[in-house]
Amino acid sequence: MPFGKLSGVVALACLAGCTRLQNKPPVKPELASPVGEIKATERIRPDCPVRIGGVFLNGLGDNSDMFEDSATNGVKLSAANRDWLGAHCDLAVLSPNTITAETFPALRRQQHLFTPLLYLYGSSLYEQPDHKGSVGGWKPEMSAWTLRDHAGVEIKHPDPGGHWMDFGNTLWAAHWRKQTETMCRQFGAFGAVAAEMALGNTFVGNDLEKYKTREDRGVATEAWLKTAFDPGKYLLIPSAIEFDEFTGHPTPPYPPGIAEPELTGRYWDQLHPVTDGSWAEGWLHPYWMEDTMSDKLWEVEMEAADRAARTDKVFIIAAAYHDDDELEYALASYLLVAKRQSRVVFQPMPLRPGEAQTAGLSLAVLKRELAEKAAYFDAPLGVALQERHSINISDSSVWHRQYQFGDVYVNSDDRRSVTINLGGKMLGSNGELWQSFVLPPHHGAILRSPSTNKK
C-alpha cells in the first residue's frame, strides 16, 4: 500500500471477515474472540519531531568520497548506507542509476513508513538509458519535442547525449508519465521528484522560441504537470523553485474554502491541485543565496509547508545555513508547522567554506550533520500540543508552538529583536538553561524541559 487510504484497506478487510463469518455457525457471545485492533506502525525516533529526508545524489557508495557525484558516475547506494537511511530518514529521493530493484523494497521492510522516490529530470531526456535522472526511451523522432531558440534551433544541452525538452509539450509529458510509472513499478518507488521544472530552469537561458516571460513558463509548467499528473498511479513531486512568485492572475484557494493568505495569486496555489507535493529546494534560505528570506517570504514558505502537511502531501524542505544560529532558525520554523504523521521532511543544506553550495545533496554530508548537530536534529520534544500562533511582547511579536516536552519560538522579523521571559528554566540547544533570552531578527529557539537533558 504505497500511498492509498487506510480506510479502503480496512473496509476490504472487514468485508472479507464478514464473508467468512457468514459461512460459520453462530458463536455464543461469551465465547466470541475479542475484536482485533489496528495498531499504528511505530516510527523511528518517535519523540523527535524533526523528520529527516531529502534528495541524495552524492556520497552513496561504500568507499565514496563525501562529495563524489555518485549519480553522474552510476555508483550504487551501499548496503550500509541503505540501512542507515532506513534507521534515520522517513523519505529518500535517489537517481535510478544508483539503486537496484531490491533497494527500496529492502528499505520498506526495514521501516514500513518509509517513502521511496526516484530522482528524474522534468526537462532533460538522454540518449543513454542509464544516465543520471533520465526516464529514458529516446528516439530520434523525439527531436520534434525539444526546446528551441528564437531561430527554431534546438537549445544545446551541456551533457553529451542530452536534450532539453519543450517545457509545455504534452507529448513529452505523456512520455515522461509512462516511463516514470514503469520505473516506479520496476524499483518499488512510490513516485518521483521532477527536477528542472520550467519555472526554475535557469540552465537553458532566455533566448527561447516559445517562452519569453515567467508567465509563459508558468503556463508551460501547469500544462506539463496536468499531463504528467496521474493520481493513484504514482506520486508527482516537482521542484518548487519560483513557486512563490505571482502568476499575474487570481488563483482559487486550495483546498476550496481554506485560504492561505500569502499563497493567493502565487504558483503555490496555481499548481497545488496537479501535484502530490513539492521539493522546496530553497526553503527560507536557498543554498544559492547568501541570506535568509524576508519576513514576507518566510510566511509564504511556512504556509506552503503547513498546507502540504495538512493535505498529506510530500514536502521536502531543503534549507541552507552557515552556522548553528541559522540552522536553529530553519529547524524552529519547520517545527512550527510539522505534523506528526506527515511526509514533510527536513534536508539540511550546510554552507561551509571550501564546500559546494549543493553539499547537502550528499548522503555522507547528511550523516555528518546529524552526528555533529544531534542536539538540534534529535531534540526529544514529543508531540505538538497546538498550532503555531503569534504572541505579542511589548511592541513586538514572536511565533510560538508548545510541544509535549518543550517549546519553539521564532522571530521572523527583518529588523526587531524580541526579549522572551519564560515562566521557568528551559534547556536550550546549546545545553544551557535559559529563563530569559533575546531573539534577534531571523532567529529561532528550540527549548526543552530540563528533565530531557539525558537525551
Q: Which of 324, 350, 377 is the last residue of a domain?
A: 377
DSSP string across 108-142:
HHH-TT-EEEEEEESSEEESSTTSTT------GGG
Give the residue numbers spanning the domain of 184. 53-377
Q: Are residues 330 and 443 in the same domain?
A: no
Domain presence at residue 149: yes
Q: For residue 35, name the pLDDT band (cuts at 50, 70, 90).
A: low
Q: Are residues 205 and 237 in the same domain?
A: yes
CA–CA–CA angle 217, 240, 121 (5° rounding): 75
Q: For residue 19, name the pLDDT band (cuts at 50, 70, 90).
A: very low
Q: Are residues 259 and 403 in the same domain?
A: no
With beta carbons less than 8 A apart as the criterion, state whether 438 and 417 touch.
Answer: yes
Q: Count of domains in the chain? A: 2
Average pLDDT over residues 30-51: 72
How far does Cα 148 stand from its chain's mean position?
31
Is the pLDDT confidence value at 347 over 80?
yes
Reading the block at residue 397, the C-alpha cell is 511579536
Q: Are residues 74 and 171 in the same domain?
A: yes
186 CB contacts (<8 Å, ≥6 apart)? 101
With beta carbons less than 8 A apart as the criterion, state whether 334 and 305 touch.
Answer: yes
Q: Are residues 278 and 331 in the same domain?
A: yes
DSSP string across 201-212:
--TT-S--SS--
Q: H or E stretch including 217?
A: helix 214-228
With beta carbons less than 8 A apart as the criterion, state whether 334 and 381 touch.
Answer: no
Domain presence at residue 172: yes
Predicted pLDDT at 5: 34
Out of 251-255, 289-293, 334-338, 382-386, which region has the weakest mean confidence (pLDDT)?
251-255
Predicted pLDDT at 353: 96
Domain presence at residue 436: yes
Report the DSSP pairing between strands 53-55 and 91-94: parallel
Reading the block at residue 109, the C-alpha cell is 521492510
What residue type is assigned to position 322 of the chain?
H
Domain presence at residue 408: yes
A 10 A CB-CB count for 244 gives 21
Domain presence at residue 11: no
Q: Are residues 173 and 293 in the same domain?
A: yes
Q: Which of 377, 398, 432 is the last residue of a domain?
A: 377
Backbone dihedral region for residue 113 (phi beyond 0: left; psi -120 to 50: alpha; all else: beta): alpha
Q: Helices 79-88 and 103-110 meet at what angle, rounded to 10? A: 40
Domain presence at residue 316: yes
- Residue 253's domain is classified under what CATH number? 3.20.20.70
What per-residue string of b and e applies to 413-428 under the rule 16 or more CB within 10 Å gives b? beeeebebeeeeebbb
Out of 97-101, 182-186, 198-202, 314-318, which region has the weakest mean confidence (pLDDT)?
198-202
Judged by DSSP in three states, 371 sits in: helix
Domain presence at residue 286: yes
Is the alpha carbon torsion for 75, 81, 83, 88 positive or negative?
A: negative
Q: Are residues 267 and 413 in the same domain?
A: no
Task: Provide the strand spans (E) within 49-196.
Answer: 53-55, 91-94, 115-121, 124-126, 162-164, 191-195
Q: Are residues 261 and 407 in the same domain?
A: no
With beta carbons less than 8 A apart as the criterion, state whether 349 and 58 touch.
Answer: no
Q: Are residues 280 and 256 in the same domain?
A: yes
Q: Are residues 118 and 163 in the same domain?
A: yes
What residue type is assigned to position 57 of the chain?
L
With beta carbons less than 8 A apart as the criterion, state whether 434 and 454 touch.
Answer: no
Is the pLDDT confidence value at 341 over 90?
no
Domain presence at residue 232: yes
- Residue 436's domain is classified under what CATH number? 2.60.40
Q: Are residues 324 and 422 in the same domain?
A: no
Q: H or E stretch including 425?
A: strand 418-427
Q: From CA 390, how far away is CA 392, in angstroms rounded?
A: 7
Q: Which of 352, 377, 402 is the last residue of a domain?
A: 377
Reading the block at residue 244, the C-alpha cell is 512563490
Q: Are residues 65 and 154 in the same domain?
A: yes
pLDDT tens-digit series, residues 286-340: 999 999 999 999 999 999 999 999 999 999 999 999 999 999 999 999 999 999 8
pTM beyond 0.95, yes or no: no
